[in-house]
Amino acid sequence: MSTTYLTTGELSRTLGWSPRFIDGLVRTNKIPSRLVDGEARFAREALVEWLEDKLRTLDHDGVVALDNQISPPAAEEADTDPITLQITRQGLLWGASANGPDGVLEILAEFAQATGAVTDAGVLRQSLAERERLCSTALPGGVALCHPRQPLPEIIWKPFVRVVCLAEPVPFGAEDALPTRLFFLLGSATDSGHLKSLSRLARILDDTTKSALLRAPSADAAHQIISSREVQIHRRRQALLARHESGNLSGDGI
């Protein structure tokens, strides 16, 4: 399987981080990269694993500080496709029952096809299973961010997010050894779409939001929680952009 590499400029446009900040991560060996003709290149799979690792090892303030390293043009582009547009109210399923991890993946794949996100649930389920065999996508606290191992342009035409909350949690390989109840499914036809969705979702899922979602009585209530959180993030991001324009934004480390 060939490896997809991104340049610093491509990574900047994808995640909305300034090239200067990315260069700093490279110089301090805080992001996986390799030199090609003297220029940094970033492998797609390594980036996904790195972002997921940040979700596990940073507190949420650290994740927000990471995502706040923005450049104005990329930030404006990222704000055009919020998570709530990728989910829609029909994209949340509450109170489902699953018989173990395989049952969860089957529910996710079938739900994605039933709601028009993919054209072939079987292909999606197989790719999800391949990704879980590498390393569980479950995070501490009862939440998992499931996704295919690779983009699937043959069955996906635009980025999507689906959310399934089980009636009872199931073991899913989380590092805290606790069962998982809330499952986010991310899908995209491109590397950039997947990385952008993963980065945005990382900002949304602070401890307060995760707890609220796990307590939500219905899909409608959960959608409102996510929507309210995105409004809050958008306002903070606009404030950061204003500080960028005035020259008052300093770079934070991770």
Convert the pLDDT of each residue in 46-86 to its tens digit. Answer: 887 787 776 655 455 555 555 555 444 444 344 335 676 78
pLDDT of residue 183: 97
Average pLDDT over residues 175-195: 89
**Range with lowest mean pLDDT among 46-50, 69-73, 107-111, 152-156:** 69-73
* 124 within domain boundaries: yes
Can you give the pTM of this predicted structure? 0.76
Antiparallel, parallel or unpaired: β 5-7 and 92-96: unpaired
| 155 in a structural domain | yes
Residue 201: inside a domain: yes
User: Is position 176 within any domain?
Assistant: yes
State the average pLDDT over residues 31-49. 88
Domain that holds residue 119: 83-232
Tokens 């590092």 locate to: 175
- Residue 2 confidence (pLDDT) above 70: no
Asked whether residue 10 is domain-assigned, the answer is: no
Distance of CA 244 to the CA centre of its chain: 25
Q: Say how far apart CA 83 and CA 94 lie, in whole Å.
A: 18
CA distances from residue 140 to 21, 35, 199, 207, 227 in whole angstroms, order as listed: 28, 34, 17, 10, 23
In a domain, 224, yes or no: yes
Q: What is the CATH number of the domain that holds 97?
A: 3.40.930.10
56 in any annotated domain:
no
Least trusted range by pLDDT, from 64-68, 154-158, 218-222: 64-68
Is residue 5 domain-resident? no
Domain count, the chain: 1
38 DSSP 8-state letter: T
Strands annotated E in 107-203: 138-139, 143-146, 160-170, 180-187
With beta carbons less than 8 A apart as the criterion, state whether 204 and 145 touch. Answer: no
In whole angstroms, what is the distance from residue 5 CA to residue 41 CA? Answer: 6
- With both helix axes pointing from N to C terminus, report the angle between 100-114 and 121-134 in degrees, rounded to the nearest 10: 140
What local confidence, expressed as pLDDT, does residue 62 receive? Answer: 54
